[in-house]
Amino acid sequence: MNTDLRTDLAELDVSALEDALDALGRPRFHARQIFQWIHKHGVVEFDAMSDLSRELRTQLGAAFRIGTPTVVQQDRSVDGTVKFLLGLRDGKRIESVFIPDTPADSSRDARATFCLSTQVGCAMRCAFCLTGKMGIDRNLTAGEIVGQVRVLARELHLLSSRFNIVLMGMGEPLHNYDETMKALRILADEHGLAVSPRRITLSTVGVLPNLERLATEALMPNLAISLHSTTEDQRDRLVPVNRKYGLRDLLDACRRFPLKRRSRITFEYVLLNEVNDTPEDARRLVKLLAGIKAKVNLLPLNEAAGIPFDRPSDDRVNRFARILADRGVTVSVRKSRGRDIRAACGQLITDSARAKAPGQQLASMLGS
């Protein structure tokens, strides 16, 4: 058991840090310096904070700690993608993925992407997703969400470069709303990494009450909706949370969602061979999205043992994409990155969980 009771400064935003210094009888202005050291420079020890007096550093070390995930394992894909297995303070493990920019993208302001987890496991149990098989263990704290960026950026020497962040790792961000939003505020803070919200994408199955809350936030990331089906029946089966928050209500919420000029909602649609990839599905999708500023990202299934679906042929994928494009819908097909190291969408599952039987978390969530 971990008996270190010191306050974890990596969990605090600047104003909470100011309060912590206050409580210690120290000037509040040090908060910005400390925040900078932790979030901008990625330091993990007070001793490295060279613009603070030795005495203050000692005092800080006695009262506080800087919680940082440890790197348990790194796997590098032939395409440059790196999957990190990270260890948390209570021994739980999560995965985070670094996806380098690709030459094909470089015409359009390409840059590297960090794919972050928001929970240990996931409660949503989407039928085609390996993480869903784990069930949910617990929420990540804001410090643990931000910590993934600090650790990956440090390991890859990217602290001073700009990058994108996608909340598409393990977990459902809108099922861990408060810590996720706090993490985004810390990431966006000008004293830290100053990641512009335009560079952050939150991907969700559509936990509706929290999607409505997101619509009122000052800090607004890009929104991606994991749609995957065009009928309530089918979505009930593929994305079980649909039984609680149905497709029609989800699309209504998307219609109302405040979008900045020129921005659009991305609809993710995993293509499952002969399940949801027919021309009728494609045409229904076009109709459903009418009136929404949308673009569609098709995700041909990443297959995995235990996932009872097949990846469609390229021909079927292209036929589906063409139907959308011909009807004026912007569509892209997600290139699958890091499949050889099991780092691609829906393939994140920690080893300890691979053996475990699925729990009952979704059932309890749906009942709540």
For 66, residues 6+ apart whose C-beta sits below 8 A from its C-beta are 8, 9, 10, 38, 43, 44, 45, 46
Write out the DSSP string of 131-146: HHHH-EEEEPPHHHHH
Active site residue 345: yes
Instruction: CB nearer to ligand SAH: give 37 or 128.
Output: 128
Residues with Cβ < 8 Å from 336, sequence gap 6 or more?
299, 300, 302, 344, 345
Nearer CB in complex with ligand SAH: 9/223: 223
| Vertex 23 angle, CA 22 and 28, to 5° | 15
Rounded to whole angstroms, the Cα distance separating 359 from 336 reads 29
Length of the chain: 368
Q: Which is nearer to ligand SAH, 20 or 126 (CB)?
A: 126
Query: Nearest residue to ligand SAH, using CB?
Result: 346
Task: Tell me the CA distances in angstroms from 185 to 69, 126, 311, 345, one per residue in order.
Answer: 19, 28, 37, 25
Catalytic choice (115, 129, 254, 345): 345
Rounded CA-CA distance 311/191 in Å is: 44
Nearer to ligand SAH, 86 or 205 (CB): 205
Minimum separation from the CB atom of position 198 to ligand SAH (A)? 19
Instruction: Report yes or no: 176 and 125 within 8 Å, Cβ to Cβ.
Output: no
| Closest CB to ligand SAH among residues 24, 366 | 366
- How far apart (Å, rounded) are the C-alpha atoms in residues 102 and 261? 27
Cβ-based nearer residue to ligand SAH, 12 or 149: 149
Q: Please list the helix, strand and coil fractions of the chain in percent, rounded to the nearest 5, in that order.
A: 40, 20, 45
Rounded-to-integer distance, Cα 199 and Cα 178, Å: 20
Q: How far is the CB of 239 from ligand SAH (least distance, A)?
A: 8
| Interacting residues with ligand SAH (CB under 6 A) | 124, 126, 128-129, 168, 172, 203-205, 226, 268, 270, 299, 301-302, 307, 345-346
Shortest approach of ligand SAH to residue 118 CB, angstroms?
8
Instruction: Please state the closest distance from residue 105 (CB atom) to ligand SAH, in A.
Output: 19
Task: State in angstroms the smallest separation of the CB of 324 from ligand SAH.
Answer: 17
**Is 95 assigned a catalytic role?**
yes
* Distance of closest approach, residue 309 Cβ to ligand SAH, in angstroms: 8
Distance CA 329, CA 19 (A): 50
Candidate list 95, 144, 179, 268, residue with the active-site label: 95
Active site residue ranges: 95, 345
